[in-house]
Amino acid sequence: MPQVVTVRVNRPTGRPVRIWVPLLPIALVLLPVLVLAAVVAAVAAAVYRVNALTALRTGWGVVSALRGTRIDVEHGRTAVLVAIH
């Protein structure tokens, strides 16, 4: 499971900004929302006749596989980097 998301923004003016976002504390804070989202997903799965457990497992697989993703965009003196660790 991803642990930290790093966001770095370099702008032509001003200092570069680098933010480390720890995902576990955020997930804990958002736990009520996540539970609600899981319930909505389970209802949607039932409506579309999809196995809710399989859908949940697959969704978790997608989240887990995000680790190692890195998106780096530069244009002139502006740059944005998003990395999932």
Partner 1 sequence: MNEQRKDILEMLAEGKITAVEAEQLIAALERSQPPATSTAETRPKTKAKYLRVLVDNVENGEPGRVNVRVPLQLLRAGVKLAALIPPQALGQATIELNKSGVPFDLTQLKPEQLEALIEHLDEVTVEVDQPDAKVRVFCE
What's the min distance (Å) between Cβ of 42 and partner 1?
13
Give the residue from 77, 71, 75, 82 showing the smallest Cα distance to 15: 77
**Residue 20 is encoded by which pair of tokens?**
């480390």
Q: What angle do CA 76, 81, 85 make, to 5 degrees?
A: 165
What's the min distance (Å) between Cβ of 58 and partner 1?
5
Nearer to partner 1, 39 or 53 (CB): 53
Residue ranges that bind partner 1, judged by CB under 8 A: 48-50, 54-55, 58-59, 61-62, 64-76
**Residue 81 is encoded by which pair of tokens?**
């980097």
Nearer to partner 1, 28 or 62 (CB): 62
Q: How many residues does the chain have?
A: 85
Nearer to partner 1, 28 or 71 (CB): 71
